[in-house]
Amino acid sequence: MQSNQRIAEVLTRLMTGETLQQVVLEQHYGISHRTCQRDLAYIRRALADYAAGRLVEDEGAYHLSRQSDQDELDMVLTASNILLGSRALSRPELTATLNYLSSGLSPTMQRIVRQQLTVPRGSYTPVSNAQPLLLRLREVAACISRSQKMVFVYQSSEPGAPRSQIHHAQPVTLFFETYYFYVAMLSVEHGGYWLYRLDRMTDILEKHPGEKLDYATRFSLQEHRHYTYLLDSGSLTQIRFIYRNNIQTVLDHFPDSRIVKQNADGSYVVEAYVKVDGAMLWLLSQGTGLKVLSPVSLVNRMRDTLTAARNQYEE
């Protein structure tokens, strides 16, 4: 075999992700150690000249490290760890998704991903009663892109309501939040936009042509992100409170909140616009680290709720 043909073949094998042992190359092509080193040096220079990657040697074994390999590895590790932290997928769907994320990496980088994710994957804890979601995600996303209405079975969590209910709604937005995927829909049953948990949609019975929705009045995911915590209900209200814990916690949970002032004791007066029902859950979770200042209606609601909670523990 001519040297040019041999070098082209070795380069092609490297570019397809193979790791090549120098001793095996020498035996396969019937060349000396010196000739093999010269071939590899030529490949190394050509890769550098065209910024096509870097030839990496590890104890007599060679593989190609592309310029983008490290960036791709970083992105795969980041996305994989976020997915593992979400707890949203069943174990089979988690495994399939993680494998897909790393499938485009070189074999060397895939090994690094497997090593890095050994502990996170071993400790993965899906939400209770995790349901298969990938097919449902695809179905709902298709309905959104085609502006279709859906008739579906929904497992309600409302006290006293029938467990399985038939709903009629047009999906407009899919998003993930705190362990679950949600679908914002224009709902007949609720007379407006409503959030449905994707894992509670057990069967899609029918699909029909939908309507062209008015963007001025449709559900705004941006507003939801800024004003909502856990529950997208309650009036949009301006609130003020004293916060004694790490101020970054407030700014992360309510992106539009602002610091009005810092008190002498190190606490902060914070102002935020929030959907008040969900905000109550967060405000209560902060215990003595927080005191609501306004509006009066929220101060009274906090006091009544905390008093009722305390009374549960009185003999």
Q: How far apart are CA 315 and CA 313, in angstroms?
A: 6
User: What is the pLDDT at residue 125?
Assistant: 92
Residue 53 main-chain phi, psi, to 5 deg:
140, -170
pTM above 0.75? no
* pLDDT value of residue 119: 95
Decide if pLDDT at 1 tops 80.
no
Locate all alpha helices (DSSP H) within the chain, ordered by sequence: 3-15, 22-29, 33-49, 69-86, 91-102, 107-116, 118-122, 134-145, 221-227, 247-253, 276-285, 296-311
Q: For the stretch 158-167, what's the b/e string if a residue is b when 16 or more beta carbons lie within 10 angstroms of its beta carbon? A: eeeeeeeeeb
Give the Cα separation of 257 and 290 in Å (integer): 15
Supply φ then ψ for residue 308, to 5 degrees: -65, -40
- Round the average pLDDT of the chain to a whole number and report it: 89
Q: How confident is the model at residue 298 (pLDDT cuts 50, 70, 90)?
A: very high
Q: Are 296 and 247 in contact (CB under 8 A)?
A: no
Question: pLDDT band for position 54 (50/70/90)?
Answer: confident
**Average pLDDT of the residues in 22-51:** 88
The pLDDT tens digits of the residues spanning 211-248 come to 888 877 888 888 888 888 777 888 889 999 999 999 99
Residue 315's pLDDT is 66
Contact between 185 and 210 under an 8 Å Cβ cutoff? The reply is no
Pairwise CA distance, residues 270 & 247, whole Å:
9
**pLDDT-based confidence at residue 94 (cuts at 50, 70, 90):** very high
Q: How many CB atoms within 10 Å of residue 29?
A: 17
CA 60 vs CA 23, 44, 108, 218: distances in Å: 8, 15, 15, 62
Predicted confidence at residue 106, as pLDDT, reads 80
Q: Are 246 and 256 in contact (CB under 8 A)?
A: no
